[in-house]
Chain A
Amino acid sequence: MTDKLFILQSSPHFRDKDSVPKIMYVVIIALLPAVFASLYFFRLKAVGLYVSCLVACLATEAIFLWVRKKPLQSLGDGSAVITALLLAMTLPPTISLELAVIGSVVAIAIGKQVFGGLGYNIFNPALVGRAFLQTAFPVAMTTWFPPATLSFDTATFATPLGNLKFEEAIAQGTLTPLKDLFWGNTGGCLGETSAIALLIGAIILFSKKTIDWRIPLGIILALSVFTGIFWLANPDKYASPVFHALAGGLLIGAFFMATDMVTSPITPKGTWIYALGIGFMVGLIRLFGGFPEGVMYSILFMNTFVPLLNRYSRPKILGERRKES
């Protein structure tokens, strides 16, 4: 009758058009407003850091793919680009380019590839790179300089959270105004300063349904409740929840880092525990820890629990009666 050959495959035969690279590119696009904001505030210094991180991350990824005999086109999936951007965005603008390169190599090599590459890493790669730098080069990681839009004495310049923690900013009346936090006219890591830019990115992520809304909501909720209680009890000593939500790396962490699909739980219940845990930890570290900022460690800490959360938060199957099972 006919010699035509037909494809034989297991159902379903329709597939959604979304794919891993597309998800990654949406994240990259969503990061761009904050990237541009940092270029505006930190000028050439920011350009140098972005370029070094991108080159170092992609090169490290390429070397690992080559050594592991994996197809090099995996470079195009965009995940290494995200790691590079996120790492650069969490570095202080004063840091030298060599350290940025070291951080990038650690992020990709130790944070991602040793686990088996995309999908298998336990910790957010960019934060692994940053944590390494923070531990190995603590001074370089905590030396700040003001954005190009502010005239400040560079020697004594501190981030809004550093000010709050070590300089008694509330009592002195030098707490960074919320307006500056919102627009990004303040000190801090490259990409974390401008809340508005990060929020524009968040809108892009939500419109494409790329991130789980439970994560940013849970983090901000837990942090607000935690810091809110202390603020209500003693507003002369503690900053308001709004200040905490806008200051430091909270927004970039809540929308772009904690939401990393690979290192966040897959079940709704697990996701809630993970998000609330991060928010609570951030509050705990900021208010009572030795560091002014705790987003990085909180996310890395909760990343550790993800496999456990996944295991113990299986959703109720349709028709399941929990008592019997």
Chain B
Amino acid sequence: MKTKTFPHGIHPPELKNLTEEISLQPMPAPEKVMIPLLQHFGAPAKPLVQKGDEVSLGQKIGEGQGLFSASVHSSVSGKVLSVDSFHHPGGTPVPAVTIANDGQDKADTDKKEIKDPFSLSPEDIRDKIKEAGVVGLGGAAFPTAVKLSPPKDSPIDTIIINGCECEPLLTSDYRLMLEFPDEILKGAELARIATGADRIIVGIEDNKKKAFELFQEKIQDYEGEAVLLKTKYPEGAEKNLIYAILRREVPRGGLPFNVGIVVQNVGTAKAIWDAVSTGKPLFERAITVSGQSITEPKNLLVRIGTPFQTVIDFCGGLKEDGNILVMGGPMMGLTQWTPEVPVVKATSGILAWKAPAPGTEYSCINCGRCIEHCPMALVPTQLAKYVQFDKLPEAESWGILDCVECGSCQYICPSKILLVHWMRLGKNKVMSSKQKKSA
């Protein structure tokens, strides 16, 4: 069958066989959860509880502040032990609510099921999504309600459901697609109604044929189609996915709505359905726990706020040789210094393996492979040199802000240059010098 794809990109080892056949399993709630008030792109939520309060399962414990923010809910029922700064997988500690689980899972009683969610108005759908604290579950954790409110002058015609899961090792999205296809499509339909789009397109890579065939059949009931994509990294990056499916180019510095598209991850689509149909807030998510140093790799439904250590112990513990702990995928994930960090909304995976000693770094030999593989068609080696020599205007005009930090360049670099590191540094410097100028 003919597959679609985008130019450039790479083929890292997939390693999905460790978990792809393992069904999602709900992990028992831990004795204690640490729920950070910042788990999304934007401003932290304002705490609504204090030490000693009793909270129920799904109770809102943090209120989103301003437009780019999201509310946070309790993932257990029990007693608030503290509201204090705590480790965060992002690297810097953030305010977090620690709750002792009473094991009852007492839920809010006033949450009502809605008979026909599809008859709701776009505003109502967005309100319910916002109320449930839904954010993009692909990794960037952008508040979903904001994403579903495109400006009036940018009409949306297509909702793309991102089922690529192009990161190696991760399989939780694949399991969601196999086990919750109806919920995902219903969530996509709600997103379609909320944005006034005409159709839904589900993009799935061809290493997940089973999921593709399932969606091809299920989507008959909706306006839209399932598209098979050639397995390639970073297929799931929004701009590349849009180009692969519809050959539309999101303008530089723009967002998908500029070309009439909203992209939602499969997990987010399911969360939208849960939030709107039952009022269930986002307090648990699907994650893959995998890597050669995890004793029993698994796909789990985990409560937000569960410490990584508890999750790893549930998977048989960490093998002796594991020396790297990553949240997310191996290409864009964040390394962790402690397994005490809690699972957050953006945690798509917990991975551990034995990382080899870093290879010798050579000077750039101008092989041009980073250019050949950059999905954004940038010139990474040149950008890195501009940043090294502090030539920020040049770096900006050569497109450093277009970098999505996918890591393709650094993956392929035979000189083992830390290209993404230089990109991040450069983006940071360019942004702060811009802010200074505008201030």
Contact = CB atoms under 8 A, between A and B. Distances in A.
Interface in A25-83: 77
Interface stretch (A196-204, A218-226, A316-324): A316-324
Contacts of B336: 6
A266 interface: yes
Contact of B331 (A1, A9, A13, A19): A13
A153 B371 CA distance: 53
Describe A's contact surface by its main secondary structure: loop
Give chain B's interface secondary structure class: loop
B415 A20 contact: yes
Nearest to B398: A314
Contact of B326 (A13, A19, A117): A13
A308 interface: no
Contact of A13 (B309, B330, B338, B398): B330
A19 B249 CA distance: 33
Nearest to B243: A318
Contacts of A15: 359, 410-411, 413, 416
A173 interface: no
A120 interface: yes
Contacts of A317: 252, 376-378, 399, 402
A4 B322 CA distance: 9
A321 B331 CA distance: 29
Interface string B232-246: 000000011001000
Nearest to B407: A12
A6 B337 contact: yes
Contact of B376 (A7, A261, A318, A321): A318
B309 A120 contact: no
Nearest to B15: A14
Interface string A264-300: 1111100100000000000000000000000000000
Nearest to A120: B363
A315 B252 CA distance: 14
A23 B414 contact: yes
B372 to A, nearest CB: 8
Interface in A100-150: 116-120
Contact of B252 (A1, A9, A320): A320
Given A1-B340, A316-B377, A6 B420 contact: no
B382 interface: yes
Contacts of A266: 366-368, 371, 379, 381-382
Nearest to B412: A16
B335 A13 contact: yes
B22 interface: no
Contact of A261 (B10, B309, B330, B365): B365
A318 B402 contact: yes
A172 interface: no
Contact of A22 (B243, B251, B254, B414): B414
A116 B364 CA distance: 12
Nearest to B250: A319
Nearest to A261: B367
A207 interface: no
A151 interface: no
A263 B364 CA distance: 11
Task: Tell me which of A11, A23, A314 has the highest count of chain B C-beta atoms within 10 A of its own C-beta.
Answer: A11
Interface in A196-252: 212
Interface string B355-386: 10011101111111001000111110110000
A263 B367 CA distance: 9
Contacts of A9: 324, 335, 355, 358
B366 A119 contact: yes
B168 interface: yes
Interface of B: 10, 12-13, 168, 239-240, 243, 249-252, 254, 309, 318, 322-326, 330-340, 355, 358-360, 362-368, 371, 375-379, 381-382, 398-399, 402, 405-408, 410-416, 418, 420-421, 424
Given A11-B335, A19-B414, 13 more contacts: A4-B318, A10-B420, A12-B406, A13-B324, A14-B168, A16-B12, A16-B412, A116-B363, A117-B363, A318-B250, A318-B402, A319-B251, A321-B251
21 contacts: A1-B340, A6-B325, A6-B337, A7-B323, A9-B324, A9-B358, A10-B421, A11-B333, A12-B330, A12-B407, A14-B411, A16-B413, A20-B362, A23-B365, A23-B367, A117-B363, A118-B362, A261-B366, A316-B377, A318-B377, A319-B239
Interface of A: 1-2, 4-16, 18-20, 22-23, 77, 116-120, 212, 261-268, 271, 310, 314-321
